[in-house]
Amino acid sequence: MSADTISINSQMNHFDSHDSVWLFGYGSIIFKADFPFLQRRPAHIAGWARRFWQGSHDHRGTAEAPGRVVTLVPQEGAICAGMAYLITPEVFAHLDHREKNGYLRVVAEIHFSEEEKTDGLLYIASEENAAFAGPADEEEIAWQIARAAGPSGRNSEYLLLLAQALRELGSDDAHVFAIERHLLRLERETAGR
């Protein structure tokens, strides 16, 4: 599948008849909501784990030196914390463009608490897309992130902002925090030279 998913996503009509829909953000959408929304609430989804397994050729890297950003992978028993935004369908076009590098719209159950949940929308980059970077050692991922930058800024900034946002949500994400530790060590070592 091509990394450019705009046309595929524009064909998804699951929420077109809705006045509003909840969007679940688990990566940069947590800390960078560059779209209009009606409400914002902490939330989580079950059965998915956040992983730095998606290449970024358009935001936090380039085609020649791609960065790494998060996607979701199925994992039994996993809970992925994030931020949910109540949006109108008019926002889909902006989100489809923002998430065009391999991400597809997916319907998922979003949980606000044990009792409160709803069907909502999220974007997932699966291994079938051309920009999928795949699993790697967390230190190796940190090295790639340390070297990458793109039109939206340094890849390290993305990682650090995500880690900070997860801490503010009270979420302990071992994968993200391990990569953050490796990145900070690399930065200290580079600064010490």
Nearest C-alpha neighbor of 21 from the set 84, 102, 87, 118: 87
Asked if residue 33 lies in contact with residue 11, where contact means CB atoms within 8 angstroms, the answer is no
CB burial of 31-44 (b: ≥16 within 10 Å; e: otherwise) equals beeebebeeeeebb
Distance CA 105, CA 168 (A): 26
- Single out the catalytic residue among 64, 76, 90, 99: 99
99 noted as active-site residue: yes
Neighbours of 63 (CB within 10 A): 11
What burial class does residue 137 get, using C-beta atoms within 10 Å of its C-beta: 0-12 exposed, 13-18 middle, 19+ buried?
exposed
User: Residue 14's closest CA among 92, 95, 99?
Assistant: 92
| Catalytic site positions | 99
